[in-house]
Structure 1
Amino acid sequence: MDEEDDGLDVEEEVLHNAMICPSCAEFEGHDILASKPKGSGHDHRVRCQGCGHVYTVHLRPPKAVVVPFMLTDGPESQMVALELDADEVLDIDDVFEDGGMLWRVTHLEDSDGQSITTGVAENVRRVVALREDLIRVRITLTVGDRSRPDHMVCQPDTTFTAGTMIDHGGRTWILRAIHTGRGRTLKGTVPANRIVRMYLHQPPAPEPTKPMSGRERRQAWKEGRLGFNPNPVVPRQNEDRGRKRGRR
């Protein structure tokens, strides 16, 4: 018998109402013979398609619990109460939507107030989450010997590289260092959602070109590049100063 080609399409078997049958202990599809409401759920009379065993399945929605969430957007925080399934598992770095915005779980507390990394909703006392779709990056701006705090708002996946020039507040700055929580780095690229603070410095001003000869100084004064000149002469860009005129 020839082996089947790897390229042949294999038809997948679709199981409807699939569950483990208590009789044959197999994961089989089931036919629903009868159904009736029961409390907040339903009772279904089903028959296993594998062994034909008939039994009743009781389906009930999970109990709902209210969990306090502290949602932090930059310097502003608010407490909200969100309704979750009692058996829903919460983990650090889970991302969820609320109020048309995305939030990332950064802290979980159990019923004893202890910090945990994962927990079932009914056993979680408080959740802290930071806004994820837009984040606020704290920065320190330094001009000379003076520094002041500031911030910028950007996408979480925006990256910053130490030692590069960036624009902020209508000015250009050099990114001297990035603080990631583990220390400052003077090189490398860091995503915005992992930055604790960035340090921006005013770049050094370029040294002005000073004319050397007397003719250059006179021309610079005419153009207003050496002190005050009430009627500066604007130089012609296309003038060919090196061209010599021939004798007549």
Structure 2
Amino acid sequence: MGSNLGGGAPNTGGAPMDDNFDDPETNEEVMGEELENMDLEEEVMDNATHCPSCDDITGHVILKEKKVGNGADIMVRCEDCSNVQTVQFRPPAPMTIPFILSDGPDSERVVLMVDADEEFYVNDVFEEQEKLWTINQIETKAGPMTTSSYADNIASINAVRTDMVRVKMTLTRGEESFADVLVVPQDTTFTASHLMEHDDETWRIRAIHTGAGRTLRGTVRAPDIKRMYLHEPPNPEHFAPRTPRERRQAWKEGKLGHNPNPIRPKEHVKSGVKPNTSSKRKKKKPRK
């Protein structure tokens, strides 16, 4: 009897075994290359449409075209079986949908003409009345709200103005506060603690409320602002020195250019009162 001197599995002949046969990574690479080759070899059909003779989607050659209303009748010949047929192309029938357009506190109902096969999505932006609007609600004929639907299944659409943003403000002057609204483009930004002009007056942005909380610093986009708080900036007279000590300090800092000494002007001194400018302290009288 013969023996297997090699000590390994015998080779029965034929094609040599592939060492990578059980390698999953190699198999995936091979399959990927085959799929790419299949995609490259995929046939591109011109004027593809259904052929009743082939009962399949095939390429066609256009023989004649005739306009009918807003559509057309096109005579075509199948490239596979040479069957000739006339294909009718008609635009979808128009229909109307009520839109509720909201611009801040004001809302308006308008009826717009759309195609029956047009699909609408929440957050879609469209133009109407030379303004931009964003869809925020779509109500279907069945009743419930949805995020997308075709026109023939829509009962109404709500949209809000997008190109301009209303920024609510609370303005404080002294002890009085009042509300106001600022209409700005949507790409406008505001920075807390900065000065801004409003109604020919200068205000300081004290804080910005974004819904997540108030911020005393930082820049916020107008659409993200829930309310902005403005304070009237202090009058320059607020910083004027009032006491001899404050005047001396202001004099040291060079803020009294028109009066280069720490003596108070006469107009700041009350009548009948003589300011004490002496730096010497009065001596106490000795006790008897």
Specify if TM > 0.5. Answer: yes
Letter in 1 for 2:178: R
Change (3 A) 1:88 1:136: same
Aligned CA-pair RMSD: 3.3
Note the C-alpha offset of 1:78.
Answer: 1.3
Given candidates 54, 58, 63, the residue that maps to 2:93 is 63
Per-residue Cα deviation, 1:114-173 (whole angstroms, up to 9, x for no partner): 332222222222222222222222211122343211011111111123333322222222
Distance 1:61 1:158 in 2: 41
Distance 2:104 2:128 in 1: 16
Note the C-alpha offset of 1:16.
Answer: 10
Change (3 A) 1:75 1:35: same
Match of 1:101 in 2: 131
Note the C-alpha offset of 1:93.
Answer: 1.9
Note the residue ranges of structure 1 that are not aligned, 5 or more in a row: 1-14, 229-248
Q: TM-score, normalised by structure 2?
A: 0.60
1:122 aligns to what SS in structure 2? helix
Identity %: 41
Structure number with the higher strand fraction is 1
Letter in 2 for 1:88: E
Is residue 135 from structure 1 mapped to residue 168 from structure 2 by the alignment?
no
Match of 1:126 in 2: 156
Distance 1:227 1:16 in 2: 99
| Residues 135 and 155, structure 1, Cα contact 8 Å, conserved in 2 | yes
Change (3 A) 1:50 1:155: farther
Per-residue Cα deviation, 1:81-106 (whole angstroms, up to 9, x for no partner): 00111121112221111122222222
Which 10-residue stretch deviates more, 147-156 or 48-57?
48-57
Taking the TM superposition and a 5 Å limit, the aligned residue runs for 1:17-32 are 18-20=47-49, 22=51, 23=54, 25=57, 30-32=60-62
| Residues 47 and 61, structure 2, Cα contact 8 Å, conserved in 1 | no
Note the C-alpha offset of 1:188.
Answer: 3.6
| Residues 89 and 121, structure 1, Cα contact 8 Å, conserved in 2 | yes
Is residue 89 from structure 1 mapped to residue 119 from structure 2 by the alignment?
yes
Change (3 A) 1:51 1:152: farther
Change (3 A) 1:70 1:170: same
Match of 1:232 in 2: none
Given candidates 186, 195, 209, the residue that maps to 2:241 is 209
Letter in 2 for 1:87: D
Letter in 2 for 1:71: L
Distance 1:76 1:208 in 2: 47
| Residues 171 and 231, structure 2, Cα contact 8 Å, conserved in 1 | yes
Structure number with the higher helix fraction is 2
Letter in 2 for 1:207: F
Q: TM-score, normalised by structure 1?
A: 0.68
Change (3 A) 1:31 1:187: farther
Higher relative contact order, structure no. (Cα contacts within 8 Å, ≥ 6 residues apart):
1
Query: Which has more radius of gyration?
Result: 2
Is residue 144 from structure 1 mapped to residue 174 from structure 2 by the alignment?
yes
